[in-house]
Structure 1
Amino acid sequence: MADIIQLLPDHVANQIAAGEVVQRPASVVKELLENAIDAGADTIKLIIKDAGKTLVQVIDNGKGMSTTDARLSFERHATSKIRSAEDLFQLHTKGFRGEALASIAAIAHVELKTKQETDDVGNVLVIEGSNITSQDVVVTPTGTSVSVKNLFFNIPARRNFLKSDTVELRHIIDEFHRVALAHPGISFALYNNGSESFNLPISNYRQRIVNIFGAKTNEKLVPVEEDTEVLNISGFVGKPEFAKKTRGEQYFFVNNRFIKSAYLNHAIASAFEGLLKTGTHASYFLNLTVDPQTIDINIHPTKTEIKFDDEHTLYALLRSAVKHSLGQFNIAPVLDFDRDPNLDTPYSYKKTETSVPKVEVDRSFNPFQEEKTSQPRVSNYKKEPTESWESLYVGLESKGNHSKQEFSAISFESEERTASIFDDDKQVEKTHTTYQLHNKYIVSTIKSGMMVIDQHRAHQRVLYEDFLKNLTVKEAASQQLLFPLQLHFSPQDIVIINQLKVDLEHTGFVFSSVMEELVEITGVPVGVPESEVSIILEQLVSDVENEVPESHFSASDLLAKSMAKSLAIKTGQSLQKDEQEHLVNKLFACKEPNVSPTNRTTFITMSVDELDKKFI
């Protein structure tokens, strides 16, 4: 039998490796930014076009590469960080696998310009699909510039799996934030389609957070500091009153490397226990410094997951450090009494000497001795003889008859009752009774049996069709606010709100101004409570960033879905009888009452025959 196992060609092996390292344009951004940091740069620029599909370029002022190093950097498993297997447990740099540039070059057009400080001219390499097409000298500043163009040009199937530009740009900005937050001592800039999105100067950690997420973030931060032999913790957590519905602002950095850890996230949630509203998540920006020998970074291709030697100790230290900070800055309740300023000594009496109060006692006082008065008491009050109790009711009968005559002449203003077409008995039979089960379902009787309605999904369907109608007709009613509502958002969130502003106005929102980090609202849709406005807009921005639903839906549909989800009656909310009946009637007045806006069942029916079978 002929041999059937053969070695893969290099370009195919590189494309397979690229599938692990490069999943989307954001993966390229992460690898190139980390290479720039490892090169010792203190100024890094990131240039994006068409959400990275057309161009991802990273320019740094690091130490650059020689001609030989520039050529070798695109070979698989070529790295300057590792010499032996033991070095994997002494890592102080970002990239160490030697796969990033080789994987990127296998699926894109890459141009590399690099120059060392001691050289007069630099080198330029042009690579297309792992093939080096040219290498020449070039005049370029000290450092390295890597341009990645036409990502996945030779793998169209992978390119088709990419999301819309909005979603891909969101992932790129997330990676940019993670790297920029981990290195406040480096200046970063991000340019998207020719316009500057971020310009982050060298600063301290708190200022870096404020520069990224907006000036209003400064008042939300609570510092966390803990120094032990096992672990050093530094950074900030957000105050509980500023907790968000989404998990966007949650960052763990271990030895200046962003990681994801559900276990450590649970430690933070445990520290905030009892301080957060249901369904909200605390923000945190925490740097953990541990001995490199106690962690293993090399367990995931993207290096966002780390294995710790002793997770239980880290969990306990992290939880106690956060709880201590919340208590120290009077965020969490502590065993202390609030000082009442009303009990303080008035300012004018502070230096006045106090006198000891004296008690005078009449030693000759005898409680058993009759009181002697010089003049007898004179009383004009004469006690009337008490009549029998029957006399109290004499004459009430006649007074009662008189009052009946008076009340008979009184007329009440009321609406006229129109005669019913049906008899009372028949009308009772037509009335459908409803019952709320566990504050989650509405049970209603129907001719064939009974119907169970999910109140949250049913209300979503009702609100969704109302909002969609208002967006289509563009004639939504709005209720004016007595005082303008000012909401603070990050600059990237403001961009999304500006995109949705027109559609939001069609639903009933009235914007007086939308500034760089501030939105001022003077009117909201009818029935929307003022306290829910910030939650609605936060949820809406999150849905647009994550494209829920996907891009083939219209913006109006997305907006209607997001607002319906935010404003719908929640599970656990008690409803009165008339509210239950109103919801049932509104549901079956919808075009598609069977499913919620997210295509989930809103109600089920159970016939009498099915119930009978249960008792057999």
Structure 2
Amino acid sequence: MPLWYNWGMKIQQLSDQLASQIAAGEVVERPSSVVKELVENAIDAGATSINIDVRQGGRESIQIADNGMGIATEEIETAFLRHATSKLSSIEDLNAIRTLGFRGEALAAISAVSQVTIVSRAEGADAGTRLVLEAGVVVNRERVGAPQGTVIVVENLFYNVPARLKFLKTAATEKRLIDEFVTRYALAYPQIRFRLTHNGRITFQSSGSGQVRDVLVAIYGPEIARQLLEIGDQRLEAESESSSLQSPASDSRSSIQVTGFVGSPGVHFANRGQITLFVNGRWIKDTQLTYAVIQAYHTLLPSGRYPLGLIFMQLPPEDVDVNVHPTKTEVRFRQGKAPFGTVQRAVRQTLVADAPTRQMSAWALGSNDGDSPGWMGALNPEAFIGGGGEQADLALSWLDETDSQDGMDGTLPLPEPEGETESQLPIMRVVGQVGASYIITEGPEGMFLIDQQAAHQRALFEQLQTEWAADNVTVQTLSTGTAVTLSETQAKLVEQFQEAVARVGVQFEAFGPNTFMVRAVPKIAASADPARLLISVATELEQSKGVVEEAGLVTAVCQTISLRPGQSLTLAQMEQLIRNLEKCADPFTDLHGKPTFIYLSVAQLAREFGRI
């Protein structure tokens, strides 16, 4: 007999009060949930000013005051009934939600687990109404004088549900969660003036100017706000995955618009908490879209660091289902994976477009104190844009891929150019190599110290990624296969994702228990050890914990075949490596977001030698 079965109880319908308290657990998880629901109601009411006052992290009281349209006297009690709402009335309305609230559960859920006082005067009314509720039951009602709008006070949250109360975090933690929510909505609605106070002290306020950048300054400060890049209006006509189920007359295409701001690669954090997503003005949580933002920074950030992103998506209401979870923070898209690609492309294009300006500004400020104009002031930028001579083969396949310290003999003639591409680096003259790891070059008004491994990885990655994106990786078939034995876990993974591995150029077949025969490798890795390539790919699959991203496999291949520190290069080899770096779309960082080079201006060198 199941342990939960109670012989002494009959099946019966729960009381309204108990049902409301159970439902409240889905909608009202903590004080920040109360703030969220009440602020969203204020926004839906057309408020242009919203004041939030919180005491003891929301445990003692939460007060939300707005100047919206208010609640009519005859409707104020109805507003606290379960499933009572003015925001939809039919199934057609539910299929195209245009408001933040719609379920009609928030006020009932909040009042069921707290003591609530509300004062509201509707637009055009000559007086307001004051209503007091305890545990969802009305205990007082009276007419009062009040300005248009609504003031609602929630006190002693969870006073009648002690089990919920003991699971609340500290006041400081609850305060932080409330801060995060209010600042998010201030960004999404810059035309609304928000003010947030904790224990009587103002901790955040926005001007309501309508300018998102004003809110960004208020949240992050002027220094970080200056480093945020605005995403140009990106639109995609997306084909719905469900279009095959629609009638021939229906239009299965819809427009997805992406705007917002992202931080330059120099702005990064220890977690994903600074990536904020909005869909049609609603803050949402979506792991796939968050990953789209992170993936757009691939190779631009140090390992373990995450970007700042503020992403606004607009699409037809009927193309997004917001009725997924009681908290309304999860949504489903009719277009399937289309939003992921649109967000990733919008962020990546913004970062790539900013790269030359960002790096040139850094060089121009090389003197740091204005003593020297730097090379930007000494040379016309046209003198180096497009420089670098002939187009070099990004593969550098002639490089020795072993860890030998004996040096590398011979050179390879540079291939014929395939077409001119604009370089983001100035023309550089190779001077030599130091420590068999760094290449010294002379550029305009200074010198560059280039990490040969980082530069080689970047060049390899951009070629292989370009081929992979076009589903056209050039492979080199091996005359004799190479047998590789993997761990049982790795063997299962490479078998499961064999097709994905083949798309990055590593082709193999089963050759025995946990053993595989490598038959082909990417052409750029023709001189590499095939066994090392398959092991690297298998390791990447294992570390991805089942969430396989083919771009990660591209990275694994390039890391395996790139130069190692301590490999001596000939002058011709160094020159070719520099030419390949000059032709990269993003020559500034390696695959982990670390710099490929360091620039020292002539002015900096003069100061070190005491010349100035």
Normalised by the size of structure 1, how large is the TM-score?
A: 0.54
Which residue does the alignment assign to 1:326?
351
What is the deviation of 1:228? 3.5
Kept after mapping to 2: 8 A contact 1:326/1:332: no
| Alignment CA distance shift 1:32-1:341 (3 Å) | closer
Matches of 2:377 and 2:88, distance apart in 1: 65
Which residue does the alignment assign to 1:480?
none
Which residue does the alignment assign to 1:81?
87
SS of the equivalent of 1:311 reads coil
Which residue does the alignment assign to 1:246?
271
Matches of 1:270 and 1:187, distance apart in 2: 34
Give matches, 1:336-485, under 5 Å: 344=380
Do structure 1's residue 227 and structure 2's residue 235 form an aligned pair?
Answer: yes
Kept after mapping to 2: 8 A contact 1:275/1:332: no
Which residue does the alignment assign to 1:207?
214
Which residue does the alignment assign to 2:284?
259
Do structure 1's residue 305 and structure 2's residue 330 form an aligned pair?
Answer: yes
Matches of 2:381 and 2:263, distance apart in 1: 37
What is the deviation of 1:4? 2.2
**5+ unaligned residues in a row in structure 2: which ranges?**
1-6, 238-254, 364-374, 383-612
Q: 1:39 is matched by which residue type in structure 2?
A: A
What is the deviation of 1:309? 1.3
SS of the equivalent of 2:306 reads coil
| Alignment CA distance shift 1:41-1:345 (3 Å) | closer
What is the deviation of 1:2? 10
What is the deviation of 1:64? 0.7
Q: 1:249 is matched by which residue type in structure 2?
A: Q
Which residue does the alignment assign to 1:287?
312
What is the deviation of 1:84? 1.0
Matches of 2:379 and 2:76, distance apart in 1: 75
Larger Cα-atom Rg = 1
Matches of 2:381 and 2:151, distance apart in 1: 69
Give matches, 1:59-208, under 5 Å: 59-203=65-209, 204-208=211-215
Kept after mapping to 2: 8 A contact 1:239/1:331: no
Which residue does the alignment assign to 2:25?
19
Aligned length: 343
Kept after mapping to 1: 8 A contact 2:73/2:122: no
Matches of 1:14 and 1:300, distance apart in 2: 17
Matches of 1:131 and 1:117, distance apart in 2: 26
SS of the equivalent of 1:316 reads helix
| Alignment CA distance shift 1:258-1:6 (3 Å) | same
Q: 1:207 is matched by which residue type in structure 2?
A: D
Match of 1:277 among 299, 302, 309: 302
Matches of 2:42 and 2:93, distance apart in 1: 21
| Alignment CA distance shift 1:70-1:227 (3 Å) | same
| Alignment CA distance shift 1:63-1:311 (3 Å) | same
Matches of 2:122 and 2:14, distance apart in 1: 36
Do structure 1's residue 216 and structure 2's residue 223 form an aligned pair?
Answer: yes
Matches of 2:69 and 2:266, distance apart in 1: 46
Matches of 1:58 and 1:333, distance apart in 2: 42
What is the deviation of 1:182? 1.3
Residue deviations 1:160-216, cap 9 Å, x none? Answer: 111111111111111112222211110000111011111211121121111122122
Matches of 1:102 and 1:27, distance apart in 2: 13
What is the deviation of 1:24? 0.5
| Alignment CA distance shift 1:331-1:249 (3 Å) | farther
What is the deviation of 1:121? 1.2
Which residue does the alignment assign to 1:45?
51
| Alignment CA distance shift 1:340-1:134 (3 Å) | closer
Residue deviations 1:258-279, cap 9 Å, x none? Answer: 1111111121122111100000
Which residue does the alignment assign to 1:237?
262
Q: 1:188 is matched by which residue type in structure 2?
A: F
Which residue does the alignment assign to 1:358?
none
Matches of 2:9 and 2:379, distance apart in 1: 95
What is the deviation of 1:345? 12
Kept after mapping to 2: 8 A contact 1:327/1:333: no
Kept after mapping to 2: 8 A contact 1:221/1:238: yes
What is the deviation of 1:301? 1.1
What is the deviation of 1:332? 9.4
Q: 2:198 is matched by which residue type in structure 1?
A: N
What is the deviation of 1:71? 0.9
Residue deviations 1:534-560, cap 9 Å, x none? Answer: xxxxxxxxxxxxxxxxxxxxxxxxxxx
Q: 1:146 is matched by which residue type in structure 2?
A: I
Comparing 271-280 with 325-334, greater Cα deviation is found at: 325-334
Q: 2:222 is matched by which residue type in structure 1?
A: A
Kept after mapping to 1: 8 A contact 2:88/2:94: yes
SS of the equivalent of 2:312 reads strand
Q: 1:275 is matched by which residue type in structure 2?
A: L
Matches of 1:344 and 1:13, distance apart in 2: 74
Q: 1:80 is matched by which residue type in structure 2?
A: S
| Alignment CA distance shift 1:3-1:121 (3 Å) | same
What is the deviation of 1:304? 0.8
**5+ unaligned residues in a row in structure 1: which ranges?**
347-616
Matches of 1:344 and 1:120, distance apart in 2: 70
Residue deviations 1:112-148, cap 9 Å, x none? Answer: 1000231221000000001100111011111000000
What is the deviation of 1:217? 2.1
Residue deviations 1:66-104, cap 9 Å, x none? Answer: 112111000000000111122112111111000000001
| Alignment CA distance shift 1:311-1:195 (3 Å) | same
Matches of 1:343 and 1:59, distance apart in 2: 58
Kept after mapping to 1: 8 A contact 2:55/2:61: yes
Which residue does the alignment assign to 1:315?
340
Matches of 1:210 and 1:291, distance apart in 2: 31
Q: 1:182 is matched by which residue type in structure 2?
A: A
| Alignment CA distance shift 1:345-1:81 (3 Å) | closer
Matches of 2:196 and 2:140, distance apart in 1: 29
| Alignment CA distance shift 1:117-1:333 (3 Å) | closer
What is the deviation of 1:253? 0.5
Matches of 1:7 and 1:311, distance apart in 2: 40
Q: CA RMSD in A?
A: 2.2
Kept after mapping to 1: 8 A contact 2:256/2:314: yes
Matches of 1:100 and 1:302, distance apart in 2: 9
Q: 1:219 is matched by which residue type in structure 2?
A: R
Q: 2:303 is matched by which residue type in structure 1?
A: T
Q: 2:189 is matched by which residue type in structure 1?
A: H
Kept after mapping to 1: 8 A contact 2:207/2:214: no
SS of the equivalent of 1:258 reads strand
Matches of 2:221 and 2:204, distance apart in 1: 11
Normalised by the size of structure 2, how large is the TM-score?
A: 0.54
Kept after mapping to 1: 8 A contact 2:53/2:64: yes
Which residue does the alignment assign to 1:580?
none
What is the deviation of 1:342? 5.5
What is the deviation of 1:227? 2.9
Kept after mapping to 2: 8 A contact 1:237/1:283: yes
